[in-house]
Chain A
Amino acid sequence: MIREITIGQYYQTDSILHRLDPRVKLIGTILYIVSIFLYRKPLPFALAALFLVLCIMLSKVPFRYMIRGLKTILFLMLFTAAFNLFLTPGEIVWSIGKLGISKEGILATVYMILRMILLIIGSSLMTLTTTPNQLTDAMEKLLWPLTKIHLPVHEVAMMMSIALRFIPILLEETDKIMKAQMARGADFESGNLLKRMKAMVPLLVPLFIAAFRRANDLAMAMEARCYQGGEGRTKMKPLRYKGRDTGAFVVLICYLAAMIVLGKGLIPIL
């Protein structure tokens, strides 16, 4: 069962959003997040929401998957909302004791919540339509200029993708060690938090030793297969921009332009 776990939250289906180059999606998500923090006016927000809804429809990912991400930050949202609501100075409209809610506070809260919702759903949409591997590839390619200042971009990307491969293997190993120790009377479930944490120590030691041994073996196997870093390496699945990626960039630029037009109030009638 542990073998079945998926890393990240990739939702497998075939849509135009899934087929887009991961670099486009990564850049697009970053630009989108920037765009929702540009203005505090109703019209740009309406446009941002509309854009997101259209993207979700294109992605063919069921809407409930988007909501999932929101649940995890519900507490943070309530917290931020409370702070914004009570601590924004301005024209008090309602108060209990020393705490007062201002008109500006209500407005700030509404915008803050809207921003957080759009931000979370927007980034979920990217992780739902892109495999972790594609994301690693995209990051490697986009950060490539940093190799000029001697940052190990390829190495970091390689480490990330190896880590992704070994997560299920190490989980299985943890399970095995746990069962072996439980069979000899170890108790991982009862007692208070401190006691349970102490019970984990004899689990972590063999796990770490095994992980180091694996790392050593893997390094040897990689060297035996002529691995010598990113230099002179070719790609089996190189990232190449296609027609649809150019199209996506055009859509993104149109969206950003529309945001700026609406945000600056350049069209007087609106």
Chain B
Amino acid sequence: MFDIRNMVHEYFRRDEEGNVTGITTAVDHVNLQVAPGDFIAILGHNGSGKSTLAKHLNAILYPSEGSVWVDGMDTRDEEKLMAIRQTTGMVFQNPDNQIIAQLVEEDVGFGPENLGVPTDEIWQRVEESLKAVGMYEYRKKSPNRLSGGQKQRVSIAGVLAMHPKCIVLDEPTAMLDPSGRREVIRAARALNDVERITVILITHYMEEVVWADHIYVMDHGKVAMEGTPKEIFSRVEELLALRLSVPQVTLLAHELKKRGLPLPAGILTRDELVKELVKLKSRR
């Protein structure tokens, strides 16, 4: 699906005359492969380069060095631009800044309209996409009257209507309350499970990534850690050193282990912790 090879992205800082005064390397020699149907999470604190990386997957940005291949297409190939953007859908952070139309259904139809899809099929796609994210009843509403979580689900539907193979969610929950966050993550997981769409979730909320197939942790533009959620979350000290938080349950298990309880590493859910504790108790 994605093949990122030795990719470097540099931002140029310029003064008023346009002379380059400094170079910031946002992404530094990153290699990353994603298989179709995966649920990938990219973690990192602010300024770690994760959003810059995400924008490469949709050819909004181009690599300064190395290459990014989306479904066999090079993002620097201008003729493939629209095909790449249709293959990879993007959902951004601020729901208000990505909804274009004044009605929910019209916004979902915006993508297919741009692709030149015939009118009847647009309606069909809009209906399917809104149903997939559970927003069909709101189709005649103004986006201004929806909650944050609902707006993000509309944004996801807008991307879905373009029939992408992959959806990149760039901190989709950063501006939402906890219930809105759950709504959005549930919608993203459903797409991955049911429709087998590749999902790349970029976030700094640890609770959202415990279901991912694979996690990449970024720091200073480099991939600092990678592995399954179990592998990543068994390295609590390293995560804390990267200024990332750890799910509360994992942290509790980690602290208990440090105090001498023989718990396994990488406990991610409350059920798991309870099970392990019960096992320990029965052994004594």
Contacts and interface: CB of A to CB of B under 8 A. Distances in A.
B119 A238 contact: yes
B60 A226 contact: no
Given A226-B114, A234-B119, A218 B100 contact: yes
Nearest to A222: B100
A168 B99 CA distance: 13
A212 to B, nearest CB: 12
B102 A224 contact: no
Contacts, number: 87
A66 interface: no
B92 interface: yes
Interface stretch (B34-42, B105-113, B200-208): B105-113
B102 A226 contact: no
A226 B143 CA distance: 21
16 contacts: A133-B102, A165-B99, A168-B144, A169-B96, A217-B94, A224-B92, A225-B90, A225-B111, A225-B159, A226-B82, A226-B86, A227-B114, A228-B114, A233-B116, A234-B113, A236-B113
Contact of B97 (A161, A217, A233, A237): A217
A3 interface: yes
B252 interface: no
A219 to B, nearest CB: 10
Chain B's interface size range is 35 or more
A225 B99 CA distance: 11
Contact of B114 (A133, A218, A225): A225
Chain A's interface size range is 20 to 34
B141 to A, nearest CB: 12
Interface string B140-162: 00011100000000000011001
Ranked nearest first, the 7 interchain pairs of A and B with the lowest CB-CB distance are: A236-B109, A221-B98, A217-B97, A224-B90, A226-B114, A225-B111, A236-B122
B82 A228 contact: yes
Nearest to B90: A224
Interface string B111-138: 1111111110011001000000000000
With a 10 A CB-CB cut-off, give which of B82, B96, B158 has the most chain A CB atoms: B96
A233 B114 contact: yes
Contact of A220 (B60, B101, B111, B144): B60
Contacts of A226: 82, 85-86, 111, 114-115, 162
Contact of A3 (B110, B117, B144, B162): B144
Contacts of A235: 113, 119
B48 interface: no
Interface of B: 58, 60, 82, 85-86, 89-90, 92, 94, 96-102, 105-106, 109-119, 122-123, 126, 143-145, 158-159, 162
A251 interface: no
Contacts of A234: 112-113, 116-119, 122
A225 B106 contact: no
Contact of A217 (B92, B102, B110, B159): B92
Contacts of B109: 236
Nearest to B88: A224
Contact of A165 (B60, B101, B116): B101
B97 A236 contact: no
With a 10 A CB-CB cut-off, give which of A168, A214, A224, A225 has the most chain B CB atoms: A225
A236 B112 contact: yes
A217 B119 contact: no
Interface in A169-223: 169, 214, 217-218, 220-223
With a 10 A CB-CB cut-off, give which of B94, B102, B110, B122 has the most chain A CB atoms: B102
Given A217-B94, A225-B85, A225-B159, A236 B126 contact: yes
A54 to B, nearest CB: 31
Contacts of B122: 234, 236
A165 B102 contact: yes
A219 B228 CA distance: 35
Contact of B119 (A165, A232, A236): A236
B64 to A, nearest CB: 19
A234 to B, nearest CB: 5
Contacts of A237: 106, 119
A161 B102 contact: yes
A240 B113 CA distance: 17
Contacts of B82: 226, 228
A217 B116 CA distance: 24
B97 A218 contact: yes
B145 A3 contact: yes
Given A3-B145, A226-B111, A234-B117, 12 more contacts: A214-B97, A220-B92, A222-B100, A224-B58, A224-B90, A225-B162, A226-B86, A226-B114, A226-B115, A227-B110, A236-B109, A238-B119
